[in-house]
Amino acid sequence: MSLAIHGAPALLRTGKGAPEPKVLRRALTGWAFNTKRRDTPKPPEIERALKWVKANTVSVSRLNDEAVLREVLEQISLKLDGRQAAAKTVYRKRAVLHNALDYAVELKALTTNRLSTVKWTMPKTARAIDKRVVINHDQAKALLSAVAAQKVAGQPRRSAGPALVAYFACMYYAALRPEEAAMLREADLELPDEGWGELLLSETAPVTGAAWTDNGARRDRRQLKQRGRGEVRAVPCPPPLTAILHDHLREFGTAADGRLFRNLTGGDLSESTVGRVWDRARKAALSEAEYLSPLARRPYDLRHACVSTWLAAGVPSTQCAEWAGHSVAVLHQIYAKVIAGLESAVHARIERALGVEPDPPERGGE
């Protein structure tokens, strides 16, 4: 049933009598696929939509046919409006399809998972960052100052900026992912009065939506990305971030469970609040041309700026990857353009190590 949304021509017997696409999608994503709501009372139109899908979905054995699988792949590569979906979206959907087929084989509903034998070209995924998103240190300081300035007397909902300065600073100075910064607790901080400290990360909380979490919260708390439960990633905390975190703790304290960043009632930090504050900061700190450009368009771009700074400072790739929380191979894919731009500096360091005098620069007109 889950393939019926995007793979309708291949996995439905007919389109005759089909519910409106919006109703069908709501029925499947809101009830059929949601284990918490699946057995709850449903509006009549949702009941009718689910009955129609059940009556008209073909047998899973059709997925033994490579031609059918190819048609399904073509369907999941499209957006709802029929246009080509982003390469990352297609890659993710294909991975979900692959797992579903593996599970069908495990249940003996299919004889084998034939997805890997289908001749089909995946859209190319551009993993390397766009260097235009990376800000310099002066721009970062201006943006953080613009976040801090967002305060309106007597209007707490329009005064979220000061409490989020450290949140954005953790991404810029320590390369935290937004969902990692959202779960940072006072107990995770090893801070001297001043100078270099350390952040000990063990938990993340990506936004998934209340309908899809076990406890009904919008954020799904889990272990760090690509790490086992309880594993810790240590990240250096440079002096500017140490000072910012001390200021945050003095002014805002923590939530009851020790989290540094939360909403007005102490709950999970809202993604919409973060986005709103960041957009206002960009408008205030950047020129009109810069604001309209990709420059630091997302808070996540602060993490890119941090890793780029580490690489430019000569930190080895292996250490950068460890601090950032991904493999060296992924680091090289994402920051390939940044690394390539450092070749001249690397050559100069090698020459100094070898005792080779660098060639003097050419002088024009002589």
User: What pTM was computed for the model?
Assistant: 0.73
Q: 19-39: per-residue pLDDT in tens?
A: 888 898 888 888 888 887 888
pLDDT at residue 358 above 80?
Answer: no
| pLDDT computed for residue 212 by the predictor | 53
- The reply to whether 78 and 138 lie within a common domain is no
Query: CA 270, CA 252: separation in Å to the nearest integer?
Result: 17
Higher pLDDT, 348 or 116: 116
The pair of three-digit structure tokens given for residue 66, joined into one six-digit string: 């490579």
Distances (CA, A) of 29 to 8, 23, 36, 212: 15, 10, 12, 10
| Torsion over CA: 152, 158, 161, 162 (sign) | positive
- The reply to whether 148 and 108 lie within a common domain is no
Strands 233-237 and 197-201: antiparallel
- The reply to whether 197 and 284 lie within a common domain is yes
Query: CA 206, CA 220: separation in Å to the nearest integer?
Result: 6
Q: 296-344: per-residue pLDDT in tens?
A: 999 999 999 999 999 988 899 999 999 998 889 889 888 877 766 666 6
Q: Residue 298 sits in which domain range?
A: 131-312
- The reply to whether 166 and 268 lie within a common domain is yes
Count of structural domains, the chain: 3
- The reply to whether 164 and 279 lie within a common domain is yes
Average pLDDT, the chain: 85
- The reply to whether 83 and 60 lie within a common domain is yes
| pLDDT computed for residue 6 by the predictor | 46
Q: Which of 6, 175, 158, 152 is nearest to 75 (CA)?
A: 6
| pLDDT computed for residue 194 by the predictor | 95
CA dihedral 232→236→239→245, nearest 10 degrees, is: -20
> Is-contact 11 57, C-beta < 8 A?
yes
Q: 121-131: per-residue pLDDT in tens?
A: 877 766 678 88
Task: Please indicate, yes or no, if residue 3 is contained in any of the structural domains.
Answer: no
| pLDDT computed for residue 254 by the predictor | 94
Q: Which of 209, 225, 205, 206 is nearest to 217 (CA)?
A: 209
The pair of three-digit structure tokens given for residue 223, joined into one six-digit string: 């272990």
Distances (CA, A) of 159 to 152, 283, 284: 5, 16, 15
pLDDT at residue 189 above 60?
Answer: yes
Query: CA 118, CA 11: separation in Å to the nearest integer?
Result: 17
| pLDDT computed for residue 221 by the predictor | 62
CA dihedral 300→178→175→324, nearest 10 degrees, is: -100
> Is-contact 260 226, C-beta < 8 A?
no
| pLDDT computed for residue 126 by the predictor | 64
Task: Please indicate, yes or no, if residue 170 is contained in any of the structural domains.
Answer: yes
| pLDDT computed for residue 3 by the predictor | 46
- The reply to whether 182 and 330 lie within a common domain is no
Query: CA 111, CA 171: separation in Å to the nearest integer?
Result: 47
Query: CA 357, CA 343: separation in Å to the nearest integer?
Result: 17
Task: Please indicate, yes or no, if residue 124 is contained in any of the structural domains.
Answer: no
Q: 221-267: per-residue pLDDT in tens?
A: 665 665 556 678 899 999 999 999 999 999 999 999 899 999 888 88
Strands 189-190 and 197-201: antiparallel
Highest mean pLDDT among 300-304, 333-337, 351-355, 357-361: 300-304
pLDDT above 70 coverage of the chain, percent? 84
Q: 43-84: per-residue pLDDT in tens?
A: 999 999 999 999 999 999 999 999 999 999 998 888 888 888
Task: Please indicate, yes or no, if residue 363 is contained in any of the structural domains.
Answer: no
> Is-contact 184 176, C-beta < 8 A?
yes
Task: Please indicate, yes or no, if residue 366 is contained in any of the structural domains.
Answer: no
pLDDT at residue 366 above 50?
Answer: no
Task: Please indicate, yes or no, if residue 2 is contained in any of the structural domains.
Answer: no
| pLDDT computed for residue 122 by the predictor | 78
Q: Which amino acid is at 288?
A: E
Any idea what the CATH number is for the domain that residue 168 is in?
1.10.443.10
Token look-up 């990360």 returns: 201
Task: Please indicate, yes or no, if residue 362 is contained in any of the structural domains.
Answer: no
Task: Please indicate, yes or no, if residue 21 is contained in any of the structural domains.
Answer: yes
The neighbour count for residue 56, using CB atoms within 10 Å, is 17
User: Last residue of some domain: 66, 95, 117?
Assistant: 117
Phi (first) and psi of residue 113, to 5 degrees: -90, 105
- The reply to whether 287 and 139 lie within a common domain is yes
Q: Which amino acid is at 307?
A: V
Query: CA 137, CA 309: separation in Å to the nearest integer?
Result: 9
Higher pLDDT, 183 or 128: 183
- The reply to whether 12 and 81 lie within a common domain is yes
- The reply to whether 238 and 158 lie within a common domain is yes
- The reply to whether 102 and 227 lie within a common domain is no
- The reply to whether 332 and 198 lie within a common domain is no
